[in-house]
Amino acid sequence: MNSRSAADTRLLVEKSLRRRAWAERRFRAYGLGAVLVGILFVFFLFGSIISKGYSAFLQAGVTLDIYFDPEIIDPAGTRQPETLATANYTSLVRAALRQQFPEVEGRPRTRALYELVSNSASFELQHLVEADPALIGKRQRMSFLAAANVDQLLKGRIDRKRAEATRVLSDDQIGWIDALAAKDQLKLKFNKGFFVHGDSREPEQAGVWGAVVGTLYTLAVTLLLSFPIGVAAAIYLEEFAPRNRWTDLIEVNINNLAAVPSIVFGLLGLAMFLNFFGMPRSAPLVGGFVLTLLTLPTIIIASRAALKAVPPSIREAALGMGASKLQMVGHHVLPLAMPGILTGTIIGMARALGETAPLLMIGMVAFIVDVPKSLVDPATVLPVQIFLWADSPERAFLERTSAAIIVLLGFLILMNATAVILRNRYERRW
């Protein structure tokens, strides 16, 4: 009786052990699965954006023989700047296209032909002639931007097999494109314009430079304000503040501000800076102010941690040698904490770089062609530019948006890598 029950128990235990071992393995697999899902998302996100955006770094260009016809540019032969500025350069490009395809006749078809070249061509010619009027009367082989749809076709993003009526390019146009490509007059080149131009309504002419400059101005204001103020606040709280209610209030405030939604800072910027103080709309200056308020908590918290990590013995030694408290901080504690503070600052700036919502509130969401030249010029920033392009219906903007995201992520990776290197190289463990 007794021995049977022992065998039973043993069986029971073995069975349950197997079950528990399975449960153990299952639990572990869930954990690993969760980590892998997370990592998969990272790769999927990057893969999807890079595969959509890499092609924007190439751009289709058309090579045409342009005859700088004196009859069209300057029939009177005066070479007056006004005449040169207002001449009909578009017709030069059109003439070159007609010469390329003499068989094209009739208004609808010639118009379809003209659509192959971006309308930036005439501006290019204008600038060229204004710079060098001697060109008039000459013939020159020149390269222009192709229209966005031509570009998309060459990159294989427009389906040739679709019915003509639902396609953005007609059969005729595709025939001309193929003919040009066969003669090597139409090909993909490195897209320099993307990095040097401002925004544009035409996808093929749009670039990120305006947004990059706006971003640099905005971040410069943010850094100049948030770094000194944040470090000063951290020093006060860590080294000078007496423990009382006021200090507690400040601490609770800083911790809470770090978690307030960024759009609320935008509302503050709108009500306070724009309406109350009457600062200019869309200006990098105000954007910098708002982002300063946003990054201050991050910088203060990081700086406090860095200051806290400096051992008290250093402070005691400095005070023992007769330094005043401010001298102790300035000469000893702060330099030792600097790598940590800089790391925190860079991370805060990286966060500010990616911030969009508060800038929408203060009107940085505007279509701005010109590259901003000062802190109060209307400007936009890279994330807002991405937001604007993502909204555009044109297909060609899709790849530009992805390319702008690649540029933004490139900046972010650069900043975070700097922070990591700084931390690994200079941070001291006590």
Partner 1 sequence: MAGGVPVPRGAAKTGGPAGYTRYSGGSNTPHLSKNIRMSMSTSALLLLIAAMAALGYWLGKYRSLALVGGGRGIRQLHSLPSYYGLLTALWCALPCLAVLAIWLACQDGLISSLVTRDLGPAPSGAANLGLFMNDVRNFASGSVPAAGVGQQVQVAAAHYQRLRGISSLALTGIILVMGLLATFWARSRITPDLRARNTVEAIGEKVLLACSTLAVFVTLGIVLSVVYESILFFRSVPVHEFLLGLQWSPQTAMRADQVGSSGSFGAVPLFLGTMMISGIAMLIAVPVGLFSAVYLAEYANRRFRSFAKPLLEILAGIPTVVYGFFAALTVGPALRTFGESIGLHVASESALAAGLVMGIMIIPFVSSLADDMITAVPQSLRDGAYALGATRSETIKQVVLRAALPGIVGGVLLAVSRAIGETMIVVMAAGLAARMTANPLEAVTTVTVQIVTLLTGDQEFDSPKTLAAFALGLVLFLVTLGLNIFALYIVRKYREQYE
> Closer CB to partner 1, residue 107 or residue 425?
425
| One residue of 106, 108, 156, 278 binding partner 1 per CB under 8 A | 278
Collapsing DSSP states into helix, strand and coil, what is residue 299?
helix
Those residues whose C-beta lies under 8 Å from the C-beta of residue 229, and which sit 6 or more positions away, are 292, 296
Q: Which residues pair with 61 in a beta bridge?
A: 145, 187
Range 91-130, binding partner 1 (CB under 8 A)? 119-120, 123-124, 127
By CB under 8 A, the residues from 360 to 379 that bind partner 1 are 360-361, 363, 365-371, 374-376, 378
Residue type, 253: N
Check binding of 260 to partner 1 (CB under 8 A). Answer: yes
Q: Is 421 exposed, middle or buried (0-12, 13-18, 19+ CB in 10 A)?
A: exposed
**Does 133 participate in binding partner 1 (rule CB under 8 A)?**
no
What separation, in Å, do the N-terminal and C-terminal C-alpha atoms of the chain show?
67
Q: Which of residues 331-360 bind partner 1 (CB under 8 A)?
A: 350, 353-357, 360
β pairing state of 139-145 and 186-190: unpaired
Structure tokens at 58: 């190439």
> Minimal distance in Å, beta carbon 243 to partner 1?
14
Q: Cα–Cα distances in Å, from 7 out to 12, 16, 31, 328, 397? A: 9, 14, 36, 75, 74
C-beta of 309 vs 376, nearer to partner 1: 376
Closest approach of partner 1 to the CB of residue 428, in Å = 21
Residue placing its CB nearer to partner 1 in the complex, 173 or 292: 292
Contact status, residue 110 vs residue 104, Cβ threshold 8 Å: yes
- Work out how close the CB of 306 gets to partner 1 at its nearest, in angstroms, rounded to a whole number: 16
Angle between helix 382-391 and 334-354 (nearest 10): 20
Cβ neighbours of residue 105 closer than 8 Å, sequence gap 6 or more: none
List the interface residues with partner 1, window 297-326 (CB under 8 A): 297, 300, 324-326
Q: Which stretch binds partner 1 (CB under 8 A): 55-63, 102-110, 177-185, 265-273?
A: 265-273
Q: Which of residues 52-71 bind partner 1 (CB under 8 A)?
A: 52
CB of 421 to partner 1, least distance (A): 14
Number of shown-chain residues binding partner 1 (CB under 8 A): 121
What is the C-alpha separation between 73 and 71, in angstroms, rounded?
6
Smallest separation, CB 167 to partner 1 (Å): 20
Give, as ranges, the residues between 408 and 427 that touch partner 1 (CB under 8 A). 408-409, 412, 416
* Four-point Cα dihedral 41, 43, 47, 53, nearest 10: 80
Tell me the closest approach of the beta carbon of residue 357 to partner 1, in angstroms: 4
Tokens of 273: 């800076």
Task: Provide the mask over 5-44, with x wherever binding to partner 1 is found by CB under 8 A and - wherever it is not.
Answer: ---------------xx-xx-xxx-xxxxxx-xxx-xx--
Q: Which residue, 174 or 229, is less far from partner 1 as judged by CB?
A: 229
For the record, the structure tokens of 332 come out as 């000893």
Residue 142 engages partner 1 in binding (rule: CB under 8 A): no
Considering only residues 223 to 252 of the shown chain, the ones binding partner 1 according to CB under 8 A are: 228-230, 232-237, 240-241, 249-250, 252
